[in-house]
Structure 1
Amino acid sequence: MQGKHHHQPRLFVPVTLDSLVPEDNIYRQLDSALNLQFLYKETESFYGTEGQPSIDPTVFFKILLVGYLNNLQSDRKLIQFCANSLDVRWYLGYELDEALPWHSTISRTRALFGEEIFLKLFRQVLSLCVQKGMVRGKRQAVDSAFIKANASLDSLKEKEIVGDGEAWADELDSNSEFTVSQQRKNLVDKHHQWKKQAYRDMPGHSAAAKRERLEAASKEETDDNGNRIRGKYLSNHTHYSPTDPDARISVKPGKARQMNYFGQLAVDDAHHVITGATADFADQRDSQCLEKIVELATSHLEENGLKAEQILADAGYSSGEALEYLNRKELDAWIPNFGQYVPQRDGFEYNRELNRYECRKPGGKAANLEYKGERPVSKGYIKRTYRGSESDCGKCPLRAECCGAATRFKKIDDSIHKELYDAMHRKLTGNPKTARKMSRIRSKTVEPVLGTLLNFTSMRRVHTRGIEGATKHVLMAALTYNLKKYLKWVRKNPVVSKPVEKLVKKGAKMKELFSFSRYSSIINTCGKNRTIYQNKQINYLV
C-alpha cells in the first residue's frame, strides 16, 4: 500500500543537538583529536580589557577548519554552510536557535591575528602526526605552486620614473614598489625590443601572422581620440598593483600572466605529511625560496626530536647559493642542475691548480685562458671570467669558429659556485639509479600533495591581500591536509586496549576469545597476529 507522510509542525521537540550527530561523524573525531584551548592564551595579547566580547578564538579557528575541509573559499558561504549543518553547529558549540558570528567578523579576526598564531596551530597538528609515527623526518621533498592573488592585471599602474643619481639613492630608502629609475626602465624596454627581434622568425611571428594580428587590431577598442589601445609589456620592474602591492606578475609556460603569490611546501616522504609551508613573492625563483622553506621544515622536525638528512627538489631549486646553504647545513641534496649548466667546455680543459682554461682543440694554438676576475651580470649572478690573448687567438685558424668572426680572443664565463654544480653533477651521473629513485620519490611525495591542496583545500586562490594573509592561507590549507591524514590514520591504526592486549599476548586463540560472551565482534587488526575486540558495555577501541 502506498504511504503518504503528513507533516505537522510541533512547538516542542524533545531532542538535543548531540543526539542528532552520529558517533562516527568527522567533526566528533576532529573535536576529540585537536585541543584548541591553548589559543586563549596565545591570542590574549590581541585584545583589550574593555569593550564588547569578541568571537571565541577557538570558534574562529574551528570555522576556518570547516571551510578548508569543505573547500569553501567565501566567508559568506562558509557561515551559511555552518548555520545549515547540524554536525558543524555541534562542533562549534552553537545550539539550533543561536546565531553564528557574522561573516565580516571572520574576515576581521583573520586580519587581527598574527601569522605566528597560525604557525603555532600548524605545529600543534604536526606534533600529533609525529606522535602517531606518521613522520620519519629523514627525507623531505620540496616544491612550489602559484597561488592566485586577489588582484587583477587591470589594476596595474606604471611605476613613477625618477631621475638618476641622487634620486636613485632616495629610491632605495623609500618605497621602491611604486618607483623605478630611468636606467632600470630603459633596460626593461631594451629587453622587450630584443625579444621582438629574437622571436621574429618563430611561429606566430611570420608575415601572415602579422597580417592576422593587424586585422584583429582593426577591430580592437580605441580611445577618445580614435587611437587604437595597444597592449603593453607588463613587468614587475615597471608596474605594480595598488590593490595588492605584494602580489607579483608571474606566468607559467602555456599559461596566461596573472597576479600571484608563491606557495612553498616541504613534505615528509614517509606518509606525505607536510612539515613546512609558507608563501613568498611570485617574482622570486624557487632557488631563492629554498633556504626559507628548509629552515621551517628542519626547525619543526627538531622541535619534535627528528632530524632531516636529505632534501629532494627539482631543477628550479638549483642555484649556487642554494647548494652552498645545503652544504653548510650538512644536508644531502638531490637537485638536478639547471638547464644552462655545462659540465665541461668543448675543446677546453680546466686547470684547477693554475685556475685557468687550456685549449685542447686539434689544430689550435693551445692558448691559455687566464683568470681575469669576477663580475656581476644583469640577473644578479656573479661570474668568473677567463680570457685568452689576441696574440694567441688572433692568428689561430679556428678563431672564427671558436670565438666568432668579430672577436679576437676567446672568453669563458663560469659561475663562482661552479665547484658546487660540478659536485652535484658528479653525484647524479655517478649514481644514476639512486638519482632516478630520488626523482621518483620527490614526484610521488610532494606533487600529489600540491594537487590536493590546490583542488580540494582552497589553496588555489587567496581572498585576502598582502603577503601575511597569503602565508596564513597556505598554513591553514597545509594543517587541514595534515589533520585529515591524521584522522584517517587514527581510524585505520587504532590503539589496542590493555585488557585485549593481555589476552592476545597470552596466546589466546580465536575460538577461546570468542568463547567469552563479553567479546561481541572484531573491530580491526593492528599489527601481526593481534585482534581488537569490542565489548558490549566497554569500548576497547581507544
Structure 2
Amino acid sequence: MLNTNTTIKVGEYSYLYDLLIPKDHMFRQWLALIDFSFVFDQLKDKYCHDNGRMAVDPVMMFKYLVLKAISNLSDVKLVERCRYDMSYKYFLGLLPEDGVIEASSLSRFRNQRLADTDIMDTLIKKTVEVAKEHKLIDGRTIIVDSTHTLSRCTPLGQTETLQKYAKALRKMIYEIDVNMKQSMPAKYEGDSLSDEINYVKSLVEFCSRKPELSLRENISEASSLLSEMVDDIEDHYTISGDDEARVGHKSADSEFYGYKTHIAMTPERLIVSASMTSGEKNDGPELPALIDKAIEVLPELERVVGDGAYSGQKNLEKAEDEGIKIVSKLNSRLLEGSKYEEKGFSYNKDAEMLVCPAGHMSISKKQVKDRTGNDRISYLFSRKHCGVCALRDTCLGQTKEKRQKVSAAVKTKQQIAQIEFMDTEEFKRWSKERYKIEAKNSELKNNYGYDRAIYYGVCGMRLQGAAAIFASNLCRIVRLMSEKQAK
C-alpha cells in the first residue's frame, strides 16, 4: 500500500545537511532543478491503494537506482554507502538518523514496479522539459548514433558446452541400463560444431524413442536442455545465461556480445530520445523511432546528423515526410557517378541519358542487377560513334570492346536530392558536429558503468539505460546552467 503523506520530515540532526553538504553540491542542484514527484504519478498504478503493508516510497526507490547509475555499485554496496554517506541520504530525502532499505527491495522494485513501463521515455522527456524551461537547448537538430554494452554473461564455447551436457545425459542413461551403450549413437569427441550438433540431435532423438528413458524426469529435463542449446546455437550462434543478448559487430573484424543503445541528442549534448535492441540489430532501421520520439519533445526539429548507416532509402523517405534534413553520407556505391564525371561523362537530366567526353549521348539504357543483387542502370553508346571517335583509345583503353558501356547505381529521387545536399555548406558544417555523440557514448560508459550490463535482457538494459541517461542529462543541465550564468 502506498503512503500518500507528503509531510516534510524534520529531525533532530537535520541541521547536519546544512553543515556538511555545500550549496553547490550536485545533489542540491538536482533537487532544485526537478520535482521527482512525477515518478510517483508514473508508478502509482503498480501499487495497491487500500490494503497490504506500507510500501517504500517509489520516489525514494527510484532515487536509489539513479545513485546506482552514477556510483556503479552493487545493490548491497549501494545500500551500505547510503547508510553513512550524508549526501546520498540527503538526495534520498532521509533524515541523518534514518535507516536504509534492505538491498533485496531494489530487485523487487525493478522487477515488480518498473516492468512493462515506459520509464525511460518519461525520464528523458522530463529532463528535456527542464532544459527547455531554462532555454538551454535549441531543439532544431539532433545527432544520432548507437553504443554497445556487453552482456552480463560471457557466451560459452558451443562445442565444449554441448559435449559437457551430452556427457551428463549419457551418464544418466548408463545408471539406468549400462547395456544401452551398445545401441546409443557413437560418442563424438572432435572440435567440429556441426558434427557435435548432429551427435546431440541423434542422442536426444534416441532418448525420445525409448519410453523407459523419456518418461524419467531427469532424462527428460536433460534432453530438453540439450535441445534448447542446439536451438540457441542455430538461431543466434551462442549459448549464454542471457537469452536476449546477441553477437554484434563494431567493425568487420571486431565483435561483441550484448546490446545496443540507439541515442539521439542535441548539439548541447542532451539526450532527447533512445531505444534499446540486442547487439545484432543495425543502426539505420532505428532512426524512424528515434525521430518520432524526438519530435514529441522537439516539435521544431529540422535536421538529423549521423554517420552513413542512417542514409538508407526508408530513412530518407521518413525525413522527406517529416520535412527533416538528414546530414548523413550516402553509401559510396551511390556516389560512384562522380567517378564518371571526373572522366568527362555527364548526365543529361532532360534525356535521362549519359553524355560521353566527346559529346555523344548514350543510345539506350537498361536496368540490371550486379553480383550483390543491387539494381544498376547500364548505359550503351553507339558502335558507329565509338568506332571513329578520337577519344577511343583513352576511353576504351586496351579492351576489345567496340563501344563504351557504363554502369551506374540506380538512384531514387530522395538519393539524388541527398547527393545535392551533400555538396552544400550546411551539410559540411553540421557533419563536423557528429563527434559530440562519440564523446557522449564514452561518457555513458566511463562515468555511468554503461560498458557492461548489470541486468539481464532488453528490459533490464532499458532500465539501466533510463537511469544512466537521466543522470547524464541532469549533470549536463547543471553544467549548461553554470555556463549560462557565467556569461
Shift of 1:366: 7.7
Structure 2 counterpart of 1:328, from 318, 321, 324: 321
Shift of 1:82: 1.8
Instruction: Show the counterpart of 1:27.
Output: 27
- List per-residue Cα deviations over 1:245-303 (Å, max 9, x = no partner): 3322112238742212221222222x32222222233323222222121222121123x
Q: 1:246 is aligned with what amino acid?
A: E
Q: 1:263 is aligned with what amino acid?
A: T
Shift of 1:403: 13
Instruction: Show the counterpart of 1:116.
Output: 118
Instruction: Show the counterpart of 1:249.
Output: 247
Q: Does 1:442 align with 2:434?
A: yes
Shift of 1:241: 4.7
Structure 2 counterpart of 1:460, from 433, 446, 451: 451
CA distance, structure 2, for counterparts of residue 283 and residue 328 of structure 1: 28
CA distance, structure 1, for counterparts of residue 430 and residue 254 of structure 2: 32
Preserved CA contact (<8 Å) 1:143 1:264: yes
Describe the SS at the equivalent of 1:265: strand
Shift of 1:98: 4.3
Instruction: Show the counterpart of 2:365.
Output: 370
C-alpha spacing 1:430/1:131, structure 2 compared with 1 (3 Å): closer
Instruction: Show the counterpart of 1:142.
Output: 144
Shift of 1:473: 2.2
Structure 2 counterpart of 1:337, from 330, 347, 353: 330
CA distance, structure 1, for counterparts of residue 366 and residue 243 of structure 2: 43
Shift of 1:456: 0.7
C-alpha spacing 1:440/1:106, structure 2 compared with 1 (3 Å): same
> Map of 1:44-443 to 2, 5 A cutoff?
44-49=44-49, 50-70=51-71, 72-95=72-95, 98-112=98-112, 113=114, 114-154=116-156, 227-228=190-191, 238-241=236-239, 243-253=241-251, 256-269=254-267, 271-302=268-299, 307-341=300-334, 342-344=336-338, 346=340, 350=347, 352=349, 358=354, 360=356, 368-372=363-367, 383-384=375-376, 386=378, 412=407, 414-415=409-410, 417=412, 419-431=413-425, 434-443=426-435
Preserved CA contact (<8 Å) 2:13 2:96: no
CA distance, structure 1, for counterparts of residue 233 and residue 314 of structure 2: 25
Q: 1:426 is aligned with what amino acid?
A: E
Shift of 1:74: 2.6
CA distance, structure 1, for counterparts of residue 254 and residue 437 of structure 2: 25
Going by fraction, where is helix more abundant, 1 or 2? 2
Preserved CA contact (<8 Å) 2:158 2:193: no
Instruction: Show the counterpart of 1:530.
Output: none
CA distance, structure 2, for counterparts of residue 386 and residue 403 of structure 1: 21
Instruction: Show the counterpart of 1:469.
Output: 460
Preserved CA contact (<8 Å) 1:151 1:241: no
CA distance, structure 2, for counterparts of residue 413 and residue 156 of structure 1: 44
CA distance, structure 2, for counterparts of residue 290 and residue 456 of structure 1: 26
Q: 1:86 is aligned with what amino acid?
A: M
Preserved CA contact (<8 Å) 2:354 2:379: no
Q: Let me know the Cα RMSD of the aligned residues.
A: 4.2
CA distance, structure 2, for counterparts of residue 237 and residue 140 of structure 1: 35
Shift of 1:136: 0.9
Preserved CA contact (<8 Å) 1:17 1:86: no
CA distance, structure 2, for counterparts of residue 377 and residue 241 of structure 1: 35
Describe the SS at the equivalent of 1:43: helix
CA distance, structure 1, for counterparts of residue 159 and residue 33 of structure 2: 48
Q: 2:328 is aligned with what amino acid?
A: I
Shift of 1:17: 4.5
- The runs of 5 or more residues in structure 2 that have no matched partner are 1-10, 161-186, 196-231
C-alpha spacing 1:387/1:440, structure 2 compared with 1 (3 Å): closer
- The runs of 5 or more residues in structure 1 that have no matched partner are 1-13, 159-223, 495-525, 528-542
Q: 1:85 is aligned with what amino acid?
A: D
> Map of 1:1-12 to 2, 5 A cutoff?
none
Preserved CA contact (<8 Å) 1:155 1:242: no
Describe the SS at the equivalent of 1:340: helix
Shift of 1:101: 2.3
CA distance, structure 2, for counterparts of residue 311 and residue 157 of structure 1: 45
Describe the SS at the equivalent of 2:375: strand
Preserved CA contact (<8 Å) 1:83 1:89: yes
Preserved CA contact (<8 Å) 1:145 1:262: yes
Q: 2:272 is aligned with what amino acid?
A: T
CA distance, structure 2, for counterparts of residue 230 and residue 39 of structure 1: 49
Shift of 1:463: 1.6
Preserved CA contact (<8 Å) 2:248 2:258: yes
Describe the SS at the equivalent of 1:461: coil
- List per-residue Cα deviations over 1:377-424 (Å, max 9, x = no partner): 978xx63554769x99xx9999xx799999x9968463453x333322
Q: Does 1:483 align with 2:474?
A: yes
Q: 1:442 is aligned with what amino acid?
A: R
Instruction: Show the counterpart of 1:173.
Output: none
C-alpha spacing 1:115/1:404, structure 2 compared with 1 (3 Å): farther
Shift of 1:59: 0.7
CA distance, structure 2, for counterparts of residue 80 and residue 155 of structure 1: 37
CA distance, structure 2, for counterparts of residue 296 and residue 368 of structure 1: 49
Instruction: Show the counterpart of 1:169.
Output: none
In the alignment of these two chains, the number of paired residues is 401
CA distance, structure 1, for counterparts of residue 433 and residue 240 of structure 2: 42
Shift of 1:147: 1.6
Instruction: Show the counterpart of 1:533.
Output: none
Describe the SS at the equivalent of 1:147: strand
Q: 1:107 is aligned with what amino acid?
A: S
Shift of 1:148: 1.4
- List per-residue Cα deviations over 1:61-104 (Å, max 9, x = no partner): 1111212233x153233222222312212322334554422333
Shift of 1:489: 4.1
Q: 2:21 is aligned with what amino acid?
A: P
Preserved CA contact (<8 Å) 1:402 1:410: no
C-alpha spacing 1:256/1:441, structure 2 compared with 1 (3 Å): closer
Describe the SS at the equivalent of 1:39: helix
Instruction: Show the counterpart of 1:500.
Output: none
CA distance, structure 1, for counterparts of residue 188 and residue 273 of structure 2: 54
CA distance, structure 2, for counterparts of residue 110 and residue 409 of structure 1: 67
State the identity %. 16
Shift of 1:328: 1.6
CA distance, structure 2, for counterparts of residue 225 and residue 240 of structure 1: 20
C-alpha spacing 1:79/1:266, structure 2 compared with 1 (3 Å): same
Q: 1:101 is aligned with what amino acid?
A: I
Q: 2:46 is aligned with what amino acid?
A: F
Describe the SS at the equivalent of 1:153: coil
Question: Relative to structure 2, which stretch is displaced further, 485-494 or 29-38?
Answer: 485-494
